[in-house]
């Protein structure tokens, strides 16, 4: 058999991108398939990384540049794996390519979005605002090509976008296609979703307007988000001056997610700074079970936040969250373990530190893969030549995902070598 | 190569509606000095028809291409013509999408940008890699613990020869001292047998791995692909050539003798390390009388999370103590284990192991601040604690106390010594000599012969860990080709250390593969250009050797700088530092940028502001502002640079003597948590700028005409306003008095 050094990376989030560029820069050919119309995954939705408080788009830009400058990396967006067969050195993978309805001629001028009459909930902003059915998620999206949402688009009968496009970039007759690839190894970088907070009824998840998730908070704080970075509460657009963070919203709970979601403590502490930086008179309370800030810099960050007199950290579980219907304010009832009593307090807004659910929980990869009861891939049970990285295996932060994704690149090089 | 020019202007994407194309073509030819007939336009240059124009010209001999269209960040596949010199002039984002259409100022901007593009290609050349000879692809791994062993095996299994150097007489490190490991896999119920022994066997029998035991690195000389490493084995030295290095020198437990306040020194107070030894031997006993321990107390954060000891969290001690609680329970079902913690930190799926342990009624966990350990008679102890869930002040009896001691990286002692040396050096030679005589020298790890020092430079506030400063790029070090892994980098558990080892091994492989092709490594991993100094003009001022963020420039016996090319990352900091302006890259030089600045048309009645923009963050931010159609002052001319560290002060002189009214350096945030991918580009530029300001003041040229702005890529919404405000301030100062009118 001819030497097959091609590596398939399933998932174009930060883990997948890292695995891909690191593998390619070590000399192998890589194909990335991404379910969404854009690369970058979860981190594109974040305002800043903890603990450096630097923007994720900075590292993404460099990784996109590495892709642009490397002929050994190709990618497919709106691509889903349909079938995997074979073994190390010779995996046949069938991939379904969903139509984007926009071709490579797109110049990113926004005329289609202006012309499009259809508004739909903005998934990128977790429904905090609407977007057109012809859209791009943000100004630094990659590839910089608009996409048309299949579900919401009215199709050729409307065709206003195609009329508006001067560059023949819109093709509403585009059909799904199938692609087959023969690869030596496969890297699963399928990522994660937020836990569905509507299952957290006592916390008002999905029910109380001013109870949002931590990922929604990222969008509210992002300059490219629905409020252009001002933290305004959903019910009335009021500036948020008092906020509560409810840790372990779903996580560390046998009825929901039995594991710890790793990132939520640092994420909430980081989000405290979002608010405190914009509104100097604001106050934040964090309700937690344990503050988990392992290692050097996380602990350092936590120590710094603790010093802020406007931040209160309360050890105790939140028992109930209700809405003051007159004002839209949110009332939190929690136990304060150290004070040994129940506390009740009113906030402008509450952020649920929603846990991490592996994407494979709802959407397993159509290959012979063993998962934990929670949907995480069990690495030791993977077939030779199939590897899992980042949050596909266990809840981790971006740093650990990068370490893991860099390390997995060497495994894919080994796979190629074994079948030489 | 004789250059044959082709200039292509796209009139799509509002460019044609913003500027007079005929006039642009005419003035591009005149100003740029190219024949009018090589300038062509197309309504959609990126379309197959538009691209055909370029391709046909290339077939007919055109080899130097200037494309006036959109940003180089887009349509990169379409406008890729290998073997030609290409310059993308950003008419769309920087003109059509940011400036008022059809004004004279906008027209001038477009003309200046085109002209600068032509100047750049005229001065620039096609890169050709400089591949050094006799390169080695062999890898050196320092440290034979779990991290080093894993790195060695991963690299060997990927087909690379490895030299593994271990300081101790046996491989295995701390991992070989463990009785059992924390459960590695779902459902996280059973403790795992140590994995390290099979790795030791594998490494010792792998034909690709040569193991040195009882050995240290005496000297590391050279550069990626060409490191000469002298290994000293029990007094005998041997020099081996390697291509890249993985440094996994590991950690030491925090010195428990400093934990007297937690009872260390009392016979029945032991460390978590001693607990492993004891469990490995068999029974969990009290050292004082050899009786089986029935009530074992574990004190978490013994040293860690304590500003007087280790201010950080050592990351794995919570899981370790839970594991050791299981030892206690498994070895003696009558015994109980009590864990006193600040927070239980079992992130991720380790939580499931924690839950399993909580289900054991013989394991008690309580949050508490342990204040002391007192004697309870007959060898028994009292754990005294405050702020406990069980009450304000508690006293719990135990017959054995285990201190969960923290992690101290092997890099800490050498770095502290070297930091002290630097501090002493600042006070003069006497102080430095005194420091050297008086301070005991710790064991160094790499012993680099680099001008910038013998070890990997420490990052401020990282407590001696040799970590990357970047979240996105975990293997960034300031010593190209040397990658750190495991607990020298961050406190981490064994699974993480193995993952980390694989990552570092991959980076080492990339490094040797890239230098074999004459290419840079991250972040310019595609770059085949290199600094090519005209050494005859070098005055040995040594600014380059001091300022290079990667220590790529050493000095010979006479003190003349010389490049260790494979250490270079191509940021151009040396080019910016050099007062003689002798450093050039094929497509990036002091002359190229200086000539572009001088190419800007200066008029009597309009202001001109030059913006030197970092191409990694500031440039995309400017693009993004344009995509949002945020208006920019049309008197601004943006010139991308590799890094602000490449800013040579002569550009400021060039600009002001030419009649430019103001200058902005647009770069990344610096200081703690810096974002510059070349470490301190904007900081160095700012330093140099402060010097030029003094000169400007002396010339009675207001120094306010220069400004350095730190922006992040996500601040694009504010960026045009920042620039426009600066233009207004310059307008208030008035025109540059040196304008030649």
Q: pLDDT of A162-176, one tens digit each?
A: 999 999 999 999 999
To the nearest whole angstrom, how far is the Cα of A193 from the nearest Cα of chain B?
15
How close does chain B come to A60, measured CA to CA in Å? 8
Contacts with A19 from chain B: Cβ below 8 Å:
none
CA distance to A160, B143, B145, B171, B178, per residue, from B280 (Å): 75, 23, 18, 18, 7
Alpha carbon distances (Å) from B430 to A163, B75, B269, B417, B421: 80, 60, 45, 17, 12
CA-nearest residue to B493 within chain A is A295
Find out if CATH 3.40.50 is the number for domain B587-741: yes
Indicate if the pLDDT at residue A195 is higher than 50.
yes
Fold of B139-250+445-516: FAD/NAD(P)-binding domain (3.50.50)
Q: Do B713 and A140 touch (CB under 8 A)?
A: yes
User: Could you give the CA distance from residue A382 to residue A217 in angstroms, rounded to a whole number?
Assistant: 36
Q: Which of residues 205-234 of A touch B (CB under 8 A)?
A: 222-224, 228-229
pTM as predicted: 0.97
For position B672, what pLDDT does the model report? 85
CB < 8 Å to B389, chain A: 337
> DSSP for A228-263?
TT--B-TTT-PBP-EEEEEEEESTT-TTS--S--SS
User: Is B122 an 8 Å CB contact of chain A?
Assistant: no
A274 and A144 share a domain? no
Q: Is residue A267 part of a domain?
A: yes
Q: Is A119 helix (H, G, I), strand (E, B) or coil?
A: strand
Distance CA B482, CA B140 (A): 9
Find where tokens 């690839």 sit. A181
Strand runs (DSSP E) across B93-200, as ranges? 139-142, 162-165
pLDDT score of A151 more than 60 = yes
Query: Is residue A170 assigned to a domain?
Result: no
Q: Specify the 3-state DSSP secondary structure of B158.
A: coil
Identify the domain boundary among A315, A333, A354: A354
Is residue A149 a part of any domain in this protein?
A: yes
* Closest Cβ–Cβ partner in B186, B510, B713 for A378: B186
Q: How far apart are CA A419 and CA A4, in angstroms?
A: 8
Domain final residue, candidates A354, A383, A400: A354
Which of A19, A62, A222 to probe the B interface (max B CBs under 10 A)?
Answer: A62
- Concatenate the DSSP letters of all residues of B1-40 into one string: ----EEEEEE-TTTHHHHS-HHHHHHHHHHHHT--GGGEE
B344 in contact with A, Cβ within 8 Å: yes
Q: Read off the pLDDT of each residue in B436-456 and give the average, rounded to a whole number.
A: 96
> Over 80: is that where the pLDDT of A136 sits?
yes
Q: What is the pLDDT of residues B229-281, one digit of tens each?
A: 999 999 999 999 999 999 999 999 999 999 999 999 999 999 999 999 999 99
**Cα torsion A124, B99, B592, B704: sign:** negative
CB contact under 8 A, B715 and A223: yes
Tell me the pairing of strands B5-10 and B39-42. parallel
Specify if A106 maps to a domain: no
Q: Are residues A287 and A215 in the same domain?
A: yes
Q: Is the CB of residue A296 less than 8 Å away from at least one CB of chain B?
A: yes
Max intra-chain CA distance, chain A = 72
- Chain mean pLDDT for chain A: 96
Taking alpha carbons only, the member of A383, A382, A364, A414 closest to residue A86 is: A383
pLDDT in tens, A83-130: 999 999 999 999 999 999 999 999 999 999 999 999 999 999 999 999
Superfamily of chain region B254-407: FAD/NAD(P)-binding domain (3.50.50.60)
Among residues B496, B572, B564, B498, which one has the least CA distance to residue B529?
Answer: B572
Query: What value does the mean pLDDT of chain B take?
Result: 96
CB of A27 less than 8 A from some CB of B = yes
Shortest distance between the Cα of B106 and any Cα of chain A, in A, equals 20
Determine, yes or no, domain membership for A46.
yes
- Report how far apart, in Å, the C-alpha atoms of B663 and of each of B107, B649, B701, B708 are: 21, 12, 13, 8
Residue that finishes a domain, picked among A303, A330, A354: A354
Closest to A179 in 3D by CA, of A95, A86, A78: A95
CB pair distance less than 8 Å for A402 and B472 = yes
Residue B694 pLDDT level (bands cut at 50, 70, 90): confident
When pLDDT is cut at 50, 70 and 90, the band that residue B693 belongs to is: confident
| C-alpha closest to that of B116 among B616, B482, B565, B637 | B637
- A304 interfaces chain B, CB cutoff of 8 Å: no
**8 Å CB contact between B572 and B633:** no
Contact across the interface for B669 and A252, Cβ inside 8 Å? no
Looking at residue B289, the DSSP 8-state letter turns out to be: T
Instruction: Return phi, psi of residue B108, to 5°.
Output: -60, -40
**pLDDT on residue B20:** 98
- Alpha-carbon distance of A255 to A253, in angstroms, equals 5
pLDDT in tens, A245-276: 999 999 999 999 999 999 999 999 999 999 99
Q: Is the distance from CB of B44 to CB of B12 less than 8 angstroms?
A: yes
**Contacts with A66 from chain B: Cβ below 8 Å:** 525-526
Q: Do A62 and B624 touch (CB under 8 A)?
A: no
Q: What is the ipTM of this complex?
A: 0.97
* pLDDT given at position B741: 53
Q: How far is B310 from chain A (nearest CA, A)?
A: 9
Stated as kind and residue range, the H or E segment containing B391 is strand B391-398
Q: Cβ of B181 under 8 Å from any chain A Cβ? A: no
Sign of the dihedral through C-alpha B416, B417, B420, B426: negative
**Does residue A260 belong to the interface with chain B, where contact is any CB pair within 8 Å?**
yes
Residue B180 token pair: 């059992």
Q: Which candidate in B189, B208, B348, B521 is best for mutational testing of the A interface (most A CBs within 10 A)?
A: B348
Q: Do A202 and A186 fall within a single domain?
A: no
> Minimal Cα–Cα distance from B332 to chain A, Å?
29
User: Are the Cβ atoms of B525 and A25 closer than 8 angstroms?
Assistant: yes
Judged by a CB distance cut-off of 8 A, whether residue B658 touches chain A is no
- Closest B-chain CA to A145: B74
Give residue A420's pLDDT: 63
Cα distance from B304 to chain A (closest Cα, Å)? 10
Interface of B with A in 262-301 (CB under 8 A): none
Q: Nearest residue on chain B to A377, judged by CA atoms?
A: B186
What would the pLDDT profile of B699-735 be if each residue is shown by its tens digit? Answer: 677 888 999 999 999 999 999 999 999 999 999 999 9
Residue A180: how many other CB atoms lie within 10 Å:
10
Residues of chain A found within 8 Å of residue B475, distances taken between Cβ atoms: 406
Nearest CA in chain A to B341: A290
Please tell me which residue of chain A has the smallest CA distance to B305.
Answer: A299
The enclosing domain of A262 has a CATH number of: 3.50.50.60
**CA–CA separation, A220 and A228 (whole Å):** 7
Contacts A68 to B, Cβ<8 Å: 76
- The answer to whether the peptide bond before residue A143 is cis (omega within 30 degrees of 0) is yes
For chain B, the domains span 1-126, 139-250+445-516, 254-407, 587-741
Mark yes or no for CB contact B346/A108 under 8 Å: no
CA–CA min distance B12, chain A (Å):
9
CB distance A70–B525 less than 8 Å?
A: yes
Query: Sorting pLDDT into bands at 50, 70 and 90, what band is A1?
Result: very low
Name every residue whose Cβ is closer than 8 Å to that of residue B520 and which is 6 or more positions away in sequence: B514, B526, B527, B528, B530, B568, B569, B570
- For residues A180 and A201, membership in a common domain is answered with no
Residues 592-651 of B with CB under 8 A from A: 616-617, 620, 624, 627-628
Between CA A388 and CA A186 the distance in angstroms is 8
Q: A324: closest CA among A210, A194, A178?
A: A210
Q: Indicate if A294 and A211 belong to the same structural domain.
A: yes
Give pLDDT tens digits for B305-318. Answer: 999 999 999 999 99
| Domains: count for chain A | 3
Give per-residue burial for A374-410: e unless 16+ CB within 10 Å, then b: bbbbebeebbebbbbbbbbbbbbbbbbbbbbbbbbbb
Partners of B158 on chain A (C-beta within 8 Å) are 410, 413-414, 417
Tell whether A104 is covered by a domain: no
Distance between CA atoms of A413 and B160, rounded to whole angstroms? 11
Q: How far is A127 from chain B (nearest CA, A)?
A: 22
Give A389's contacts in chain B (Cβ within 8 Å).
Answer: none
Clarify whether residues A49 and A131 are in a common domain: no
Do A254 and A391 lie in a common domain?
Answer: no
By CB neighbour count within 10 A (0-12 exposed, 13-18 middle, 19+ buried), where does B517 fall?
Answer: exposed
> Do residues A338 and A294 share a domain?
yes
CA B615 to CA B595: how far, in whole Å?
19
Is B308 exposed, middle or buried, given 0-12, 13-18 or 19+ CB atoms closer than 10 A? Answer: exposed
Residue B584, beta-bridge partner list: B589
Domain B1-126 shares a fold with domain B254-407:
no
Asked whether the beta carbons of residue B507 and residue A406 sit closer than 8 angstroms, the reply is yes
Q: Which of B506, B624, B715 sits opposite A409 (nearest CB)?
A: B506
Kindly state whether A167 is in contact with chain B, defined as any CB-CB distance less than 8 angstroms.
Answer: yes
B153 chain-A contacts, CB cut-off 8 A: none
pLDDT at B365 over 80: yes
In chain B, the residue whose alpha carbon lies closest to the alpha carbon of A379 is B185
- Confidence at residue B530, expressed as pLDDT on a 0 to 100 scale: 98
Give the range of the structural domain holding residue A69, as residue numbers without chain letter.
Answer: 6-98+176-193+357-418
Give the minimum alpha-carbon distance from A91 to chain B in angstroms, rounded to a whole number: 20
Cα separation, B205 vs B638, in Å, equals: 59
Q: Are residues A280 and A378 in the same domain?
A: no
Contact A258 B716 (CB under 8 A): no
Rounded to whole angstroms, the Cα distance separating B502 from B498 reads: 6
Same domain, A361 and A231: no
Q: Residues A186, A203: one domain?
A: no
Strands B561-563 and B553-555: antiparallel
**Closest approach of A81 to chain B, Cα-based (Å):** 25
Q: Do B312 and A300 touch (CB under 8 A)?
A: yes
Q: Kindly state whether residue A105 falls inside one of the protein's structural domains.
A: no
pLDDT on residue A3 = 57
Annotation: CATH topology of B1-126: Rossmann fold (3.40.50)
Query: Which residues of chain B neighbour A262 with C-beta distances below 8 Å?
Result: 347-348
For residues A308 and A292, what is the distance between their CA atoms, to the nearest angstrom? 18
Exposure string of B347-378, with b = 16+ CB inside 10 Å and e = fewer, is bbbbbbbbbbbeeeebbbbbbbebbebeebee
Residue A281 domain flag: yes
C-alpha distances (whole Å) from A356 to each of A76, A248, A390 are 25, 10, 12
Contact B474 A300 (CB under 8 A): no
Decide if A74 touches B, using CB distance below 8 A. no
């Amino acid at each position: 058999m001819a030497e097959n050094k091609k590596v398939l990376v399933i998932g174009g989030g930060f883990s997948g991108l890292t695995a891909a560029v690191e593998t390619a820069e070590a000399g192998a050919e890589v194909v990335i398939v991404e379910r969404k119309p854009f690369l970058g995954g979860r981190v594109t939705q974040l305002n800043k990384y903890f603990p450096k408080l630097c923007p994720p788009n900075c590292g993404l830009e460099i990784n996109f540049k590495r892709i642009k400058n490397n002929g050994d990396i190709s990618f497919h967006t709106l691509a889903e794996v349909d079938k995997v067969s074979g073994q190390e050195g010779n995996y046949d993978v069938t991939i379904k390519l969903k139509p984007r309805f926009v071709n490579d001629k797109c110049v990113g001028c926004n005329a289609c979005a202006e012309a499009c009459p259809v508004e739909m909930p903005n998934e990128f902003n977790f429904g905090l605002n609407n977007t057109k059915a012809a859209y791009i998620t943000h100004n630094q999206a990659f590839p910089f090509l608009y996409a048309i949402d299949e579900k919401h688009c009215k199709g050729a009968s409307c065709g206003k976008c195609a009329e508006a496009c001067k560059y023949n970039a819109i093709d509403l007759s585009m059909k799904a296609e199938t692609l087959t690839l023969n690869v030596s190894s496969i890297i699963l970088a399928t990522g994660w979703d937020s836990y569905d907070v509507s299952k957290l009824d006592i916390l008002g998840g999905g029910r109380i307007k001013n109870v949002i998730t931590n990922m929604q908070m990222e969008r509210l704080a992002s300059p490219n988000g629905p409020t252009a970075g001002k933290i305004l509460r959903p019910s009335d657009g009021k500036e948020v001056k008092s906020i509560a963070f409810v840790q372990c919203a779903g996580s560390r709970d046998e009825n929901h997610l039995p594991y710890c979601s790793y990132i939520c403590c640092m994420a909430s502490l980081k989000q405290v700074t979002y608010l405190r930086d914009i509104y100097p008179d604001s106050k934040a309370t964090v309700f937690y079970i344990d503050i988990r800030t392992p290692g050097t810099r996380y602990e350092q960050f936590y120590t710094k936040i603790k010093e802020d007199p406007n931040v209160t950290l309360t050890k105790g579980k939140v028992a109930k969250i209700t809405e003051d219907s007159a004002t839209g304010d949110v009332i939190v009832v929690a136990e304060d373990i150290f004070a040994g009593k129940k506390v009740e307090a009113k906030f402008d807004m509450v952020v649920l530190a929603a846990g991490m659910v592996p994407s494979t929980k709802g959407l397993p990869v159509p290959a012979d893969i063993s998962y934990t009861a929670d949907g995480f891939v069990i690495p030791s049970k993977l077939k030779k030549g199939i590897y899992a990285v980042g949050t596909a295996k266990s809840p981790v932060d971006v740093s650990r995902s990068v370490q893991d994704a860099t390390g997995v690149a060497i495994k894919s090089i080994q796979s190629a070598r074994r079948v030489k | 190569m004789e250059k044959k020019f082709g200039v292509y202007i796209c009139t799509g994407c509002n460019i044609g509606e913003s500027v007079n194309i005929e006039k642009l073509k005419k003035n591009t030819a005149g100003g740029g000095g190219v024949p009018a007939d090589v300038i062509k336009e197309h309504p959609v240059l990126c379309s197959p028809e538009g691209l055909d124009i370029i391709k046909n010209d290339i077939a007919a001999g055109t080899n130097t291409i200037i494309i006036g269209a959109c940003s180089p960040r887009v349509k990169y596949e379409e406008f890729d013509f290998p073997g030609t010199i290409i310059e993308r002039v950003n008419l769309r984002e920087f003109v059509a999408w940011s400036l008022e259409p059809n004004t004279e100022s906008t027209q001038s901007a477009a003309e200046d940008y085109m002209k600068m593009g032509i100047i750049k290609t005229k001065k620039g050349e096609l890169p050709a890699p400089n591949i050094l000879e006799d390169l080695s692809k062999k890898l050196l791994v320092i440290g034979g613990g779990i991290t080093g062993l894993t790195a060695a095996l991963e690299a060997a299994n990927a087909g690379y020869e490895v030299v593994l150097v271990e300081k101790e007489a046996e491989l295995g490190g701390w991992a070989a001292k463990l009785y059992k490991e924390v459960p590695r896999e779902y459902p996280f119920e059973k403790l795992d047998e140590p994995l390290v022994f099979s790795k030791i066997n594998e490494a010792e029998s792998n034909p690709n791995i040569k193991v040195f035991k009882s050995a240290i690195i005496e000297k590391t000389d050279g550069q990626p692909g060409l490191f000469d490493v002298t290994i000293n084995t029990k007094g005998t030295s041997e020099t081996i050539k390697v291509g890249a290095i993985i440094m996994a020198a590991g950690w030491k437990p925090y010195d428990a003798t400093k934990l007297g306040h937690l009872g260390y020194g009392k016979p029945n107070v032991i460390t978590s390390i001693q607990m492993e030894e004891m469990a490995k031997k068999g029974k969990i006993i009290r050292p004082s009388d050899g009786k089986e321990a029935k009530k074992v107390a574990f004190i978490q954060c013994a040293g860690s999370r304590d500003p007087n000891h280790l201010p950080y969290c050592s990351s794995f001690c919570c899981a370790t103590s839970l594991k050791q609680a299981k030892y206690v329970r498994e070895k003696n079902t009558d015994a109980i284990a009590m864990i006193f913690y600040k927070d239980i930190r079992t992130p991720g799926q380790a939580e499931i192991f924690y839950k399993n342990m909580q289900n054991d009624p013989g394991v008690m966990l309580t949050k508490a601040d342990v204040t002391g350990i007192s004697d309870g008679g007959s060898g028994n102890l009292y754990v005294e604690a405050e702020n406990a869930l069980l009450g304000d002040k508690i006293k719990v009896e135990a017959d054995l106390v285990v201190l969960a001691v923290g992690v101290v990286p092997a890099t800490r002692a050498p770095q502290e010594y070297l930091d002290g040396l630097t501090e002493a050096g600042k006070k003069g030679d006497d102080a430095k000599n005194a420091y050297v005589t008086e301070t005991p020298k710790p064991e160094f790890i790499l012993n680099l012969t680099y001008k910038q020092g013998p070890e990997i430079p420490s990052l401020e506030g990282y407590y001696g860990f040799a970590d990357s400063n970047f979240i996105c790029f975990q293997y960034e070090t300031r010593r190209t080709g040397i990658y750190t892994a495991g607990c020298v980098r961050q406190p981490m558990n064994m699974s993480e250390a193995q993952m980390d080892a694989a990552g570092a091994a991959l980076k080492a492989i990339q490094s040797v593969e890239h230098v074999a092709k004459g290419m840079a490594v991250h972040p310019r991993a595609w770059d085949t250009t290199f600094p090519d100094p005209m050494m005859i003009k070098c005055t040995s001022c040594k600014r380059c050797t001091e300022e290079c963020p990667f220590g790529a420039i050493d000095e010979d016996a006479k003190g003349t700088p010389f490049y260790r090319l494979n250490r270079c990352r191509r940021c151009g900091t040396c080019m910016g530092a050099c007062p003689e302006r002798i450093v050039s890259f094929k497509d990036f030089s002091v002359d190229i940028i200086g000539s572009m600045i001088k190419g800007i048309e200066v008029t009597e009645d309009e202001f001109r502001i030059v913006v030197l923009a970092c191409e990694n963050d500031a440039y995309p931010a400017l693009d993004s502002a344009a995509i949002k159609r945020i208006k920019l002052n049309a008197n601004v001319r943006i010139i991308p640079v590799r890094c602000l560290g490449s800013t040579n002060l002569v550009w400021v002189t060039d600009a002001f003597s030419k009649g430019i009214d103001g200058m902005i350096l647009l770069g990344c945030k610096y200081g703690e948590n810096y974002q510059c991918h070349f470490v301190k580009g904007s900081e160095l530029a700012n330093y140099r700028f402060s010097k030029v300001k003094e000169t400007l003041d002396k010339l009675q040229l207001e120094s306010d005409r220069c400004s350095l702005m730190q922006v992040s890529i996500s601040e694009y919404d504010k960026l045009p306003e920042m620039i426009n405000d600066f233009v207004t301030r310059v307008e208030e100062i008035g025109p540059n008095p040196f304008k030649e009118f």
